[in-house]
Structure 1
Amino acid sequence: MADRVEQAPATGAAPAAAGPTGQVIRTTSFVSVLVLSIAALVYVVRYVLLVINRNTLLNSWVALAADWLGVLASVGAGAAVIASGVLLIRWLIARRAAAFAHHGLPEPRSPRALWAGCVVPLANLLWAPVYVIELAMLEDHWARLRGPVLQWWIAWVCSYAVSIAAIVTSFATDAQGIANNTVLMVVAYLLAAATLAAATRIFEGFHRKPVARPAHRWVMVPDDGAPTPASAGPVELEGQEPAA
């Protein structure tokens, strides 16, 4: 037997554009989760300062620093989410194109439609998971990735709900309203970090199984080095007629 490698069937379509590398996505996702966690910690500090300020007047410089730290944390968190989201969407588009081409099928959705379905607020809660599920079913990974996809979607829905509540309450001017908004900001950033971590876990589930992995098949081949056994001679004794 011999192990022969069968190349994937070539298609007439042009090769799909390569997406970002796995290392780039891992690094960006790790940094983004770290930035989101730091942003949540900043708002925890702000909440502690609010509690202290109820009984003791804070120094004006401390209050100003706390306000600006919150602004910087929000800007950094937004940039981190955008950077990771863009990379993951680019990877998804490239992976879908490669998977459909590998199976000799046309990609039913244009890159523009995929981008729109992934970035339009609220609509992406429906369409982004659909795009991932289509890819998982095409590559026969759905049974293995069903749990991670469901966890990602639940975390994303919760993150959406808390983020909307945090935006609505950000206009509060009374002390209790500001404190409530600060708590919501902490939870929102933690849920955003959990959502991004869950999305990265799905990426890892796909990345461990490359699309263009060659197929192996064991086939029987003749062994040229083995001597051919001589044909057996007649079993009759010398001088006797062969048996009929």
Structure 2
Amino acid sequence: MIQVCSTCGTRWNVRERRRDWCPRCNGTLLAPTGADPAPLGTPPSGREFRQPAGLGTPPSGRVGPPPPGRGRLPAGYRWIAVRPGAAPPPRRGRRILGPTPRYAFVPRWGLVDHFDQPDQHQAPVRSGPSTQMVRRTLIATMAVLGAAAFVHLVRYILLIVNRSTLLNPWVAGAATWIGVGVSVIAVFMIVATAVVLTNWLIGRRTAAYAYRGRPDPRSAARLRAGCLVPLVNLVWAPVFVIELAEVEERLSWLRRHIAVWWLVWVASTAVSVFSMATSFATEAQAIADNTVTTTVAYLLALAAVLLVMKVFDGFERQPVEKPSKRWVIVPDDRPSTETGNAAEPQNSAAVESEGQNPAA
């Protein structure tokens, strides 16, 4: 009995025993060409006959033996059931969409953006000088104070030289009058800085209290008197600033800057008062000492203005209508609500060592 491989085409003599798989390529062996002991109309073992619909097979495609009266199929053929009717229509290809649309101008069709107007109560209108004006005034004041300190330092050097060498009258006069002129300009700049900072403080306090729905407990006249009257402002001006920091919930961040500025300001005022009290001296050594004191006073004033600028930047770093808060994680001290399992004591010994896996 001969069986032909459907894959490699090798003819195999299986003798009297029918086989299903090719020993060479493991392909399917066709039906044997010799005599088959199976009765007529019965499919061989391992094979099945299928027939198309309309030849005695229902449309469902059930598999069964060929109809009686028909001969056996030739070797390599079998009955296959197919769907009745015409063949299905071919699939349509992808429709060509054409080129990408382009517009020579921005299209006006589509959704319209709607922006809610901010509430007037949430964003109070601030009065007083602008941030740029305050910052420029502080920078100009620091420049003038630095120039005044440098001029008095040069003047002290000329006084030392004058002890052994007679100076030119023009040089001596220029050193004297330039120092006086720079001192006058420094006094005007300090007064202007005090006025600008007072107006800014009043406007900032008004906006901060208005944002929280209550008026400022201190009037504008009281704020101006506490910030502009000499020696009185040493006590009340920092108090007003601390109240503003408390209202805006920023005292924890600005407490150190305000304290350092307050101390330097008090020291600068004390040295300035001592310098003005000793400025009427006529002796050479007393004039030299007063020049050194004045130089130190200008340097302390420069440091005080620099520190007050840090305090100002600390407030202006965030607007009034956006207060800053710090959220921290609080441990949960509530008792365990699990039922059936008793809570383990905190001081119990650990079952496994930390960093090691438990034993299997």
Report the TM range for the smaller structure's normalisation.
0.7 to 0.9
Given the alignment, which residue of 165, 169, 173 partners 1:60? Answer: 169
Are the equivalent residues in 1 in contact too, given 2:151–2:179 (CA < 8 A)?
Answer: yes
CA distance in 1, matches of 2:230, 2:136: 25
> Would you say 1:113 and 2:222 are equivalent positions?
yes
Given the alignment, which residue of 135, 139, 150 partners 1:41? Answer: 150
Q: 1:125: Cα distance to partner?
A: 0.6
CA distance in 1, matches of 2:320, 2:289: 47
> Would you say 1:84 and 2:193 are equivalent positions?
yes
Q: 1:67 to 1:128 in 2, by over 3 A?
A: same
> Would you say 1:200 and 2:309 are equivalent positions?
yes
Q: 1:154: Cα distance to partner?
A: 0.7
CA distance in 1, matches of 2:159, 2:313: 41
> 16-25 or 48-57, which moves further after superposition?
16-25
- Cross-structure match for 1:72: 181
Are the equivalent residues in 1 in contact too, given 2:208–2:248 (CA < 8 A)?
Answer: yes
Instruction: Provide the aligned length of Structure 1 versus Structure 2.
Output: 209
Q: 1:64 to 1:42 in 2, by over 3 A?
A: same
Q: 1:17: Cα distance to partner?
A: 5.4
Identity percentage over the alignment?
A: 50
Are the equivalent residues in 2 in contact too, given 1:39–1:74 (CA < 8 A)?
Answer: yes
CA distance in 1, matches of 2:317, 2:252: 15
In structure 1, the gaps of 5 or more residues are 216-244
What's the C-alpha RMSD, in Å, of the aligned pairs? 2.1
CA distance in 2, matches of 1:48, 1:125: 33
- Cross-structure match for 1:175: 284
Are the equivalent residues in 2 in contact too, given 1:16–1:98 (CA < 8 A)?
Answer: yes
Q: 1:105: Cα distance to partner?
A: 1.1
CA deviations 1:32-78 (Å, max 9, x no partner) are 10110000000000000100111111111111111101111101111
- Cross-structure match for 1:153: 262
- Cross-structure match for 2:134: 25
CA distance in 1, matches of 2:170, 2:216: 57
Given the alignment, which residue of 77, 94, 98 partners 2:207? Answer: 98
Q: 1:170 to 1:76 in 2, by over 3 A?
A: same
Are the equivalent residues in 2 in contact too, given 1:8–1:102 (CA < 8 A)?
Answer: no
Q: Which has the higher contact order (CA 8 A, sep 6+)?
A: 1
Q: 1:6: Cα distance to partner?
A: 11
Given the alignment, which residue of 229, 236, 251 partners 1:127? Answer: 236
CA distance in 2, matches of 1:56, 1:87: 46
CA distance in 1, matches of 2:165, 2:291: 19
Q: 1:106: Cα distance to partner?
A: 1.3
Are the equivalent residues in 2 in contact too, given 1:47–1:183 (CA < 8 A)?
Answer: yes
> Would you say 1:189 and 2:298 are equivalent positions?
yes
